[in-house]
Amino acid sequence: MNRVHLDHNATTPLRPEARAEFLRAVDALGGNPSSVHASGRAARAELDDARERIAAALGVEGEELVFTSGGTEANNTALFGALPPGRPLYISAVEHSSVREVAEALQKEGRDVTILPVDPEGRLDVPATKAALEGRKSGLLSVMGANNELGTVSPFGELRAVLEALPPDSRPLWHADCVQMLGKLPLAPRELSLDLASFSAHKVGGPLGVGVLWCSKTTALSPRLYGGGQESGLRSGTENLPAIAAAAVAIELAVQEQAAYTAKTSSLAKQFWGEIQEALPAARLLGPPIESTERLPNTLCVLLPKADGRVLVPRLDLEGLEVSAGSACSSGSIEPSPVLMALGHNEADARAALRLSLGRETSAADLQIAIKVLRTTCG
Ligand code: PLP
């Protein structure tokens, strides 16, 4: 059976170039980058090189990057570490669980947390955000670059204008979870006037378990992990050097190839959506309309009325089609998507949406197979 993976927002296959770099680094490097002897110094030089390459790809400086275990830890570090004591935290209603659940934990500790509303396509409500920020003491605002389920891209230009118009003592630090945006749309965190941004290597053809937090030099960050003082004291623990070297290759290539990736996946996704509508006339596309440029090019969030992701995802898997529904937790159970619930969908609809996310290697032939499977399984 030809299996088709349309769950690239969950993870992507390791790129051959990243795999080769991982294997080279494993073979070449035996040292701990914090050791002072020759093998340690060789490892340190490689770590510095990977850091500089990622920084150059992101248009930032190497000393502003903190390597973490993934996007989840990068988000946790940003929120716990950059929210000034006693100041408010603002997050959008559709953030990834690694932001949403930090906000819930902080709220339980008595911190002042505001959930900012989104429109029916999942886009941040900018006037409501402006109203929430005005007249308050500056804190930390976390708004994702692009939503992992809906593909909705945040209105960063408008948000930036709102933030810049605020008096300095009301202007919050701005963190963006850019895990899904990297490599899919142009992205320059410093030019956007962000203060912090999170990235994850495995979403762009890099290895699992490597994240990067960019924290601008002027932003104060305190650590969540204490120990040997690695990563300028911001994230103790010996760095996973072979995986970081491989991540650098994947991130560089993702940025270099972004325009080609966007053109290819958006054209395939448009065609695919047309075919889904023919095969399943009741299907509805959630998030921005297909022709919108304010959407991730590779992501289709498709509501199939009366479907139940808990049943459908395993059935599609049996037929060789890998997709996701709702938010898969570590137990593998599928909860109704909190993102769709935040958009006002009821629990049944929040369980009835499939996320189909294309990747760099997805071909028109893969999508023909996918359509056949969808037609026979959901029709
Ligand atoms: N943020 C977003 C938007 C994501 O889609 C994900 C992963 O699904 C994460 C954060 C977490 O990244 P990681 O799997 O590297 O912890």
Burial zone of 166 (CB within 10 Å; 0-12 exposed, 13-18 middle, 19+ buried): middle
Provide the b/e sequence for 289-328 (b: ≥16 CB within 10 Å): eeeeebbbbbbbbbbbeebebeebbeebeebebbbbbbbe
Q: How far is CA 349 from CA 96, 307, 343, 346, 371, in A?
A: 19, 8, 11, 5, 22
247 and 289 in a single domain? The answer is no
pTM above 0.85, yes or no: yes
**Residues in contact with 273: Cβ distance below 8 Å, sequence separation at least 6, in sequence order:** 285, 290, 300, 302
**Residues in contact with 303: Cβ distance below 8 Å, sequence separation at least 6, in sequence order:** 283, 284, 285, 286, 345, 349, 352, 353
**Tens-level pLDDT at each residue, the chain (379 residues):** 789 999 999 999 999 999 999 999 998 878 889 999 989 999 999 999 999 999 999 999 999 999 999 999 999 999 999 999 999 999 999 999 999 999 999 999 999 999 999 999 999 999 999 999 999 999 999 999 999 999 999 999 999 999 999 999 999 999 999 999 999 999 999 989 999 999 999 999 999 999 999 999 999 999 999 999 999 999 999 999 999 999 999 999 999 999 999 999 999 999 999 999 999 999 999 999 999 999 999 999 999 988 898 899 999 999 999 999 866 554 466 678 889 999 999 988 888 999 999 999 999 999 999 999 999 998 7
226 and 85 in a single domain? The answer is yes
> Which one from 178, 215, 329, 378 is the annotated catalytic residue?
329
Residue-level pLDDT at 334: 65
Residue 327 CA to ligand 1 centre (angstroms): 11
Residue-level pLDDT at 31: 85
Q: Where are the alpha helices (DSSP H) in 176-303?
A: 241-256, 258-279
Q: How far is CA 235 from CA 31, 72, 178, 200, in A?
A: 19, 14, 20, 16
Query: Tokens 């999508």 belong to which residue?
Result: 367
Contact of 181 with 195, CB cutoff 8 Å? no
280 and 320 in a single domain? The answer is yes
Residue 329 is among the residues annotated as catalytic for this protein: yes
126 and 241 in a single domain? The answer is yes
267 and 169 in a single domain? The answer is no
Last residue of a domain, one of 256, 286, 311: 256
239 and 265 in a single domain? The answer is no
Q: How far is CA 46 from CA 75, 84, 331, in A?
A: 25, 34, 37
Q: Kindly state if the Cβ of 200 falls inside 6 Å of ligand 1.
A: yes
264 and 367 in a single domain? The answer is yes
Q: How many CA atoms lie within 13 A of 278 on its CB side?
A: 9
Residue 159, strand partner residues: none
Residue-level pLDDT at 191: 87
126 and 227 in a single domain? The answer is yes
Bridging pattern class, strands 140-142 and 89-92: parallel
**What CATH number does residue 281 fall under?**
3.90.1150.10
293 and 195 in a single domain? The answer is no
289 and 179 in a single domain? The answer is no
Last residue of a domain, one of 202, 230, 256: 256
Residue 115 CA to ligand 1 centre (angstroms): 20
**What CATH number does residue 20 fall under?**
3.40.640.10
84 and 191 in a single domain? The answer is yes
Domain membership of residue 75 as a residue range = 16-256
**What number does the ligand 1 atom closest to the CA of 148 have?**
5
Q: How far is CA 206 from CA 17, 51, 245, 257, in A?
A: 9, 15, 9, 14
Q: Which two tokens stand for residue 22?
A: 């991982």
Residue-level pLDDT at 329: 54
Q: Looking at the 3D structure of the chain, how many domains does it have?
A: 2
Contact of 42 with 32, CB cutoff 8 Å? no
Last residue of a domain, one of 256, 283, 305: 256
52 and 178 in a single domain? The answer is yes
Q: Which of 104, 158, 112 is nearest to 138 (CA)?
A: 112
Q: Kindly state if the Cβ of 258 falls inside 6 Å of ligand 1.
A: no
What single-letter amino acid sits at 288? P
